[in-house]
Amino acid sequence: MKKDAKNKYKILVVDDAEDAREVIQTLLEDAGYAVSVCADVDQALERLSTTPVDLVITDLRMPKTSGMVLIRHVRDHLKDIEIMMITGYPSIEGAVDAVKTGATHYLAKPFTEKELLGTVTEILDKLARGRMARREEARIVRHGIIGDSPAMWEVFKQIEKAGSVAANVHIFGESGTGKELAARAIHYAGNRRAAPFVSVNCAAIPENLIESELFGHVRGAFTGAGSSRAGFFQMAHGGTLFLDEIGDASLAMQAKLLRAIQEKTIYRVGSSSPTPVDVRLICATNKDLLQLIDRQLFREDFYYRINIIDMLLPPLRERGDDILRLINHFHARFSREMGRPAPSFSDAVLQRMLQYPWPGNVRELENVVQKLMLMAEGETIDLSDLPDSMKSMASVAGRLDLSLAEHETAYIRDVVASVYGNKTKAATILQIDRKTLREKLKHSKSHKPI
């Protein structure tokens, strides 16, 4: 760290021993830092209430109040400040308590000039990296979604437009692209943000229960209905109802949803009295609804009611460096959750991740990053640590003479080959169902060999 760069860092030294304060202050000021000193915790708390500080260096044992109280106060009430504890009474218990309370480092007296300056440099370098990462994340996070690619800029524009009106929205895209995140962003970008956002996965509710879940029921409406219950429409009154996997809704359910949308009323199961509801509907699916209409599996009139605004979420493979941005985000998050130094990704691994087609999209990327970080045995994650599905890319990785469809075809073939033709395992790796896999394999036969 250059001396002129150090000048921007402000350090507060807290120690009841005057000679110790003076020595630390002199060493740090000679190294280029701006240093202030306090003789006890009370003085330090008063100073922190009026003066911005980057690093607090505090003694552990002081006559009036323990340095542990100061550490706890900083962690509970002040943000973006690093802490180092020093003490002439080193012990394992003291070090553990200090770290648990929030001290970044623990330095035992007596220490050398090299040890002090080395530790301070390490702490402030970490602080600088954290601040840079937060600035970068603040720049690339919009509406709670990470992205800075042209494809995501289009999504952000659509979210803002959709948020400004009350029309129903249809979000479509591959599985794992973040359709619920987009729906929430639309809700909180609009004037219904103070009302509930209710999320429902249509595919997860059994057909015989979905009407009761959506519209509610009255006591005695069916066996087991011991009391009346509000449905999701009533829960979302005044706000937004998000229906995920709408393509899996039966034709009968589509008809009832259509009536609720048109009439702005619902009928609870077992009741003949209408209940007015004010709900904005956002539907999502990874299926082609127009194709379902052609096959008479989806109502055309219902489609046009929910598709007033349509929004396509791009697959991860079309988002360029957003892959790296998401890797950094997940790496930082899982590092905090693990509570230990996290392994880093080698350049070769990051390059492979950029080349990988990510059939499971952001959900798959999050899963892979977490798994690699948890299972890594060294300080660096390398190609040998990657899942088999990513290792099998070797046959097409780096080839620039292939179209996206050809890359996908070759990748699917490699995955199937890697599990010796077991389509169930291949579908699990690809995070698609067996039917979709069969269709893609059938389609791949019409392509020339790669």
Residue range 171-200: mean pLDDT, rounded: 94
Does one domain contain both 151 and 299? Answer: yes
Q: Is residue 132 part of a domain?
A: yes
Q: What is the pTM of this model?
A: 0.64
**Which segments of 7-112 does DSSP mark as H helices, in order?**
18-30, 41-50, 67-77, 92-101
Q: Is residue 91 part of a domain?
A: yes
CB-CB neighbours of 397 under 10 Å? 17
Q: Is residue 449 part of a domain?
A: no
Q: Is residue 450 part of a domain?
A: no
Nearest to 52 by CA among 86, 8, 114: 8
CA distance 276 to 265: 4
CA distance 144 to 95: 37
Is residue 383 scored above 80 in pLDDT?
yes
Domain extent at residue 375: 318-444
Give residue for tokens 């997860």: 204
CA distance 287 to 347: 36
Mean pLDDT of the chain: 85
Residue range 361-374: mean pLDDT, rounded: 94
Among 258, 281, 314, identify where a domain stops: 314
Does one domain contain both 15 and 129? Answer: yes
Q: What is the pLDDT of residues 325-363, one digit of tens each?
A: 999 889 988 888 887 777 889 888 998 899 888 988 999
Does one domain contain both 419 and 378? Answer: yes
Residue range 385-413: mean pLDDT, rounded: 70
Does one domain contain both 352 and 283? Answer: no
Higher pLDDT, 133 or 284: 284
60 close to 87: Cβ distance less than 8 angstroms? yes
Q: Is residue 224 part of a domain?
A: yes
CA distance 252 to 204: 17
Range scoring the smallest mean pLDDT among 40-54, 161-175, 418-432: 418-432
Residue range 175-193: mean pLDDT, rounded: 94
The pLDDT of residue 255: 93
Kindly indicate the confidence band of residue 449, based on its pLDDT and cuts at 50, 70 and 90.
Answer: very low
Kindly indicate the confidence band of residue 245, based on its pLDDT and cuts at 50, 70 and 90.
Answer: very high
Does one domain contain both 289 and 386? Answer: no
Does one domain contain both 281 and 358? Answer: no
Among 124, 139, 154, identify where a domain stops: 139
The pLDDT of residue 272: 87
Q: Is residue 370 part of a domain?
A: yes
Is residue 448 scored above 50 in pLDDT?
no
CA distance 173 to 295: 20
Among 83, 110, 139, identify where a domain stops: 139
Q: Is residue 238 part of a domain?
A: yes
Which phi and psi angles does 83 have, rounded to 5°?
Answer: -135, 135
- In the structure encoding, which two tokens stand for residue 47, read together? 């100073």
Does one domain contain both 236 and 310? Answer: yes
Does one domain contain both 374 and 300? Answer: no
Handedness of CA 29, 31, 34, 37 (dihedral sign): negative
Is residue 95 scored above 60 in pLDDT?
no
**Over pLDDT 90: what percentage of the chain?**
47
User: How many domains in the chain?
Assistant: 3
Q: Is residue 263 part of a domain?
A: yes
CA distance 234 to 447: 51
Does one domain contain both 323 and 310? Answer: no
Nearest to 284 by CA among 183, 196, 185, 151: 183
Looking up residue 80, the CATH number of its domain turns out to be 3.40.50.2300
The pLDDT of residue 5: 54
The pLDDT of residue 326: 94
The pLDDT of residue 165: 93
Kindly indicate the confidence band of residue 389, based on its pLDDT and cuts at 50, 70 and 90.
Answer: confident
The pLDDT of residue 103: 62
Does one domain contain both 231 and 365? Answer: no
Give residue for tokens 């007033």: 308
